[in-house]
Amino acid sequence: MKKIILISCASKKINQKTLAQDLYISALFQKNLQYAKSLNPDKIFILSAKYGLLKLDEEVEPYDKTLNKIRSCEIKEWANSVLSQLQKVVDLNKDEFVFLAGNNYRKFLLPGIKNYKIPMLGLGIGKQLKWLKENIKVSKICHTIHQWFNGMKKHSFPFNEQEIPKNGIYILFEKGELAYSTNRIVRIGTHTGNNKLRSRLKEHFVNENKDRSIFRKNIGRALLNKDKDPFLKQWEIDLTTKKAKELHSNSIDLTKQKEIEKRITKYIRDNFSFVVFQIDNKDKRLELESKIISTVSLCDECKPSPNWLGSFSPKEKIRKSGLWLVNKLCKTPLSEKDLKELKNILENKNTWDGSFVI
């Protein structure tokens, strides 16, 4: 599946022949194009009221025509022509289309396209500009942290415990998952107790107890759901407390549960690697964890592959976010100030307010 972005033309143009991407000079078109490029799509086309489908590097003359001033039957005729142009260069049934275009430029195209998204549906021009500004920033920051984290020392099982700080944040990567031409971040995590980072990672990679690791529980959910295994209902039961054990132990196939735990262990050890960085202050640790999660979750570029195991999760938030997480997905992302602070942390430079030690 390829990602195709369609941007509608604009009335404000320069008065000379030029490349299509340089012809339209309205603020909305420029932001749409900037956002489109930040997604690293396979193709970007401009929907032109006069020329139909335009490549960005196609030379065109300026013109004075818009779909907003012609009859519906003429717009439909224009749309049929554009669909004919599109089907020569993309797959209308398999490719994913992202519309950065007004209603008149998309309404008669949509019936001919199977997979599409309209990220700014229902927003006025002012709100579109605000949305684009925020999302362009998120995408850039997300790209940056992917590069930083992928450049750090990676750990996989069996990992040397002495190379893991006692307090900090871990970033997980999963085999086969890519973003920005590098390994895609699939989970961000930390711990609340003091000096518990190593034990937290052991709960994921070593200890076979899904009630002590929501990450393990979510992997199990996806595996069972993928197999349409009715044991999923038993898997959901938490046996952490003594009362829960008394109530449910006899109703759970513990032999099957152990088998699933071993299967999860193998999947995690075979498919996941991680990087870690030290932060001793609990509040700062939790704050940065939340902001990194939201940055990756809110970024349109960081989407899972078609074969990602998480796509079989019964948890909608996991399927939609592409992360093995259900919390902190849509809170405050990293700001440019946060990014500078994170850089200093990764470079072991403490420029924060001095209340913690790196």
Sequential pLDDT tens for the chain (358 residues): 899 999 999 999 999 999 999 999 999 999 999 888 877 789 999 999 999 999 999 999 999 999 988 999 999 999 999 999 999 999 999 999 999 999 999 999 999 999 999 999 999 999 999 989 888 888 899 999 999 999 999 999 999 999 999 999 999 999 999 999 999 999 999 999 999 999 999 999 999 999 999 999 999 999 999 999 999 999 999 988 888 888 877 889 999 999 999 999 999 999 999 999 999 999 999 999 999 999 999 887 888 999 999 999 999 999 989 999 999 998 888 988 999 999 999 997 433 333 333 2
* In a domain? residue 166: yes
Are 48 and 10 members of one domain? yes
Compute CA distances 169 → 190, 193, 291, 293, 347, whole Å.
Answer: 5, 13, 12, 11, 15
* In a domain? residue 173: yes
Beta bridge partners of 3: 96
Are 254 and 118 members of one domain? no
* In a domain? residue 291: yes
Give tens-digit pLDDT for 259-291: 999 999 999 999 999 999 999 999 999 999 999
The predicted structure's pLDDT at residue 356 = 31
Residue that is last in its domain, among 97, 122, 147 = 122
Which tokens in the block code for residue 207? 């200890």
The predicted structure's pLDDT at residue 103 = 95
Q: Is the pTM of this model over 0.85?
A: no
The predicted structure's pLDDT at residue 194 = 96
Are 101 and 208 members of one domain? no
The predicted structure's pLDDT at residue 112 = 95
The predicted structure's pLDDT at residue 243 = 86
> 98 near 39, Cβ under 8 Å?
yes
CA dist 312 and 225 (Å) reads 6
* In a domain? residue 148: yes
CA dist 328 and 52 (Å) reads 42
The predicted structure's pLDDT at residue 351 = 33
Are 157 and 297 members of one domain? yes
Are 208 and 317 members of one domain? yes
Are 7 and 96 members of one domain? yes
* Domain count within the chain: 2
Are 84 and 164 members of one domain? no
Are 297 and 190 members of one domain? yes
Residue that is last in its domain, among 61, 88, 122 = 122
Are 162 and 292 members of one domain? yes
Are 108 and 176 members of one domain? no
Are 314 and 213 members of one domain? yes
Beta bridge partners of 48: 52
- Which residues form the domain of 95? 3-122
* In a domain? residue 128: no
Is the preceding omega at residue 158 within 30 degrees of 0, hence cis?
yes
Are 281 and 203 members of one domain? yes
